[in-house]
């Protein structure tokens, strides 16, 4: 059985490989999308929309980076800007119809890929993995 340091090295290597596949998935939605930009679009879908400052806080990015990323999403017709009903000076960013359609297609492709990868896994193994991933993500 490997020691704790070796185990952490394995986890790091495997999560890095996972992240590489995620970057590839983002590029499949649109070749100009980075993983961060794709994640922002996905967050906008999950939340129903938010302000750019909320994206900056969520992804720990500065406002200029978020501005560039959202400008790209807007240029690709993946998001729309709407006046914030609570503060008419601000704007809410939401996925456009095209953005929602592309996210849905990407989700279906990812789900199929996961389903295929886990074909030989027992249900209790999947449940444990899901629990471990939730635990890991909640700790950060």
**For 54-111, what is each residue's pLDDT tens digit?**
999 999 999 999 999 999 999 999 999 999 888 888 899 999 999 999 999 988 988 9
pLDDT of residue 140: 65
Q: Of 102, 140, 91, which is closest to residue 26 (Cα–Cα)?
A: 102
Q: pLDDT tier at 28 (50, 70, 90 boundaries)?
A: confident
- The CATH number that applies at residue 9 is 1.10.10.10
The position carrying tokens 């939401």 is 94
Provide the percentage of residues in the chain whose pLDDT is more than 70: 98
Q: SS3 letters for 99-127?
A: HHHHHHHHHHHHHHHHHHHCCCCCHHHHH
Q: pLDDT tier at 33 (50, 70, 90 boundaries)?
A: confident
pLDDT of residue 21: 82
Q: How far apart are the first and last CA of the chain?
A: 27
Q: pLDDT tier at 1 (50, 70, 90 boundaries)?
A: low
Number of domains in the chain: 1
Q: Look up the pTM and report it.
A: 0.80
Which range of residues forms the domain containing residue 46?
4-138
């Amino acid at each position: 059985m490997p020691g704790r340091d070796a185990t952490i090295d394995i986890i790091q290597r495997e999560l890095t490989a996972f992240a590489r596949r995620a970057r590839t998935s983002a590029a499949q939605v649109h070749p100009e999308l980075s993983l961060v930009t794709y994640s922002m679009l996905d967050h906008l879908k999950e939340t129903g929309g938010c302000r750019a400052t909320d994206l900056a806080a969520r992804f720990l990015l500065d406002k200029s980076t978020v501005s560039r990323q959202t400008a790209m999403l807007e240029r690709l017709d993946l998001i729309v800007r709407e006046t914030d009903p609570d503060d008419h000076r601000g704007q809410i960013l939401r996925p456009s119809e095209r953005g929602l359609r592309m996210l849905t297609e990407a989700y279906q492709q990812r789900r199929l890929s996961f389903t295929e990868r886990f074909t030989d896994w027992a249900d209790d193994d999947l449940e444990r993995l899901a629990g471990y991933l939730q635990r890991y993500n909640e700790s950060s």
